[in-house]
Amino acid sequence: MNTHSINFVTATKAFSQIGIRSGPLIFILVLLLVGGSSFAQVAISSESSGASATPATGAPVTITLQDALQRARVNDPQYRSAITDLGLAREDRVQARAGLLPGVNYNNSFIYTQGTGALPLNCASSTLGCPTTRFIANNGVHEYISQANVHEAFSLTTFADYRRSSAALAQARAKSEIATRGLVVTVTQSYYGLVISQRKYATAQRAAAEAAHFLDISQKLENGGEVAHADVIRARIQAQQQQRDLQEAQLGMERSRLDLAVLLFPDFNQDFAVVDDLQTPEPLPTFKEVEAAGKKNNPDLRVALAAYEAANHEVTAAWGGLLPALSIDYFYGIDSNQFAIRTDGIRNVGYSTVATMQIPIFSWGSDRSKLKQAELRRDQAHLELTHAQRELLSHLRQFYREAETARFEMESLASSAELAADNMRLTTLRYQAGESTVLEVVDAQNTLTQARNAYDDGQARFRVAVANLQTLTGNF
């Protein structure tokens, strides 16, 4: 086949795709193609563009636990709220620190005062008792003010507010760490929840196939006159139950996938796959190491400690309302009757300083009331701090014991699953040999399914227990 025939076939295919029949147009196409027309190239490009416009279905995204954590940090609103609070606390400290430093402003004003007009005749030789302006509040008829102002205020409240903002920043940082570790627990539960639900679905498929196989065995034995019809009925009931369990397992798997998709994807993508890494459990440190890490890295304890420090600084700030406060203003620029640096050889630029001492005298008891409120908050913060210390010791022992028990039971659960598989195989052989009953076979099938599911749950339980323990200690 030469080039022209190839172009002809391609062009004909392109016309068929856009809905044009190739009856009366064949002759025209032949002429165009033989003559080297570019119309065939247009048809070819039309076909290729149509193929490229069709969206290609790619493989699903494969996500590990670390990938899931990274995606959740971007999309989880509670975690982002804690990060936002941390940013707000950081800016609060910047603003409080600015309150300790002098501020600079530049002011421009023009004050006009209506004059009195010409002086009376009897005031020509003496100005005693003669008015010079109609209003005496200003320094002249025309007053121009253009000067910089440096302002600095000193008070116990200002210093206490800065220290309190620093404590609030430490508290927000500890809360963000709590949110980070809590997100790890949430993602771990959802991630391995999907892994386990997929395993349970596979187990349910296997159990349904085994029940169907046993139903076929019982029917064949019944046809051979070796078992009663009651065995077939019991096997059919078991097969129907396994089909219902398979549907429930599929529903649970879809529910777990949806729960994880909400955490991971902003566009609610369900086309993803997770990596099953439950076969390699991580080692568990000793309790002494966990206890030392918990006392050093526990964010709940840091939150309570920072809250207590902030409450102490709040008491100091309340005392500042009962003590004098000092402010200093330095002015430099023009304050003259003419807007000019010099007037008749006189320099108009100058400076002035104002120092103000504000002494509180009477406030109807509001300052004392604020001090009392601050002391009540400080006492409550101290109580919460001691409670957090006791709660840390309790949770350390509880979470470590949970992780230790889950890891210890995994070997036993694996052994039980293997024994249950051997038991079902042997019981089925004994039934075929007429040495066991149908109830024993059904019980062996149910025991195998339960053992497999228990082993899967045990592996996920250990991972979640480790994540809970790491909320107190950090990674180990």
Among 1.20.1600.10, 3.40.50.1820, 1.10.3720.10, 3.40.50.300, name the CATH number for the domain at 65-96+158-311+369-473: 1.20.1600.10
- Those residues whose C-beta lies under 8 Å from the C-beta of residue 330, and which sit 6 or more positions away, are 149, 150, 351, 352, 353
Tokens of 214: 């046993």
Q: What is the pLDDT of residues 376-424, one digit of tens each?
A: 999 999 999 999 999 999 999 999 999 999 999 998 999 999 999 999 9
The domain segmentation of the chain, as residue ranges, is 3-53, 65-96+158-311+369-473
Confidence of residue 47 (pLDDT cuts 50, 70, 90): very low
Structure token pair of residue 255: 């529910």
Query: Are residues 278 and 192 in contact, defined by beta-carbon separation less than 8 angstroms?
Result: yes
- What confidence tens digit (pLDDT) does each residue in 310-356 have? 999 999 999 999 999 999 999 999 988 888 888 888 898 999 999 99
What does DSSP say about strands 272-274 and 61-63: parallel, antiparallel, or unpaired? parallel
Question: Rounded mean pLDDT of 160-176?
Answer: 95
48: left (phi over 0), alpha (psi -120 to 50) or beta: alpha
pTM metric for this prediction: 0.74
- Work out the angle between the directed axes of helices 229-264 and 438-473 (0-180°, nearest 10): 20
Give SS3 for 399.
helix
**Of 168-182, 227-241, 272-286, 362-376, minimum mean pLDDT range:** 272-286
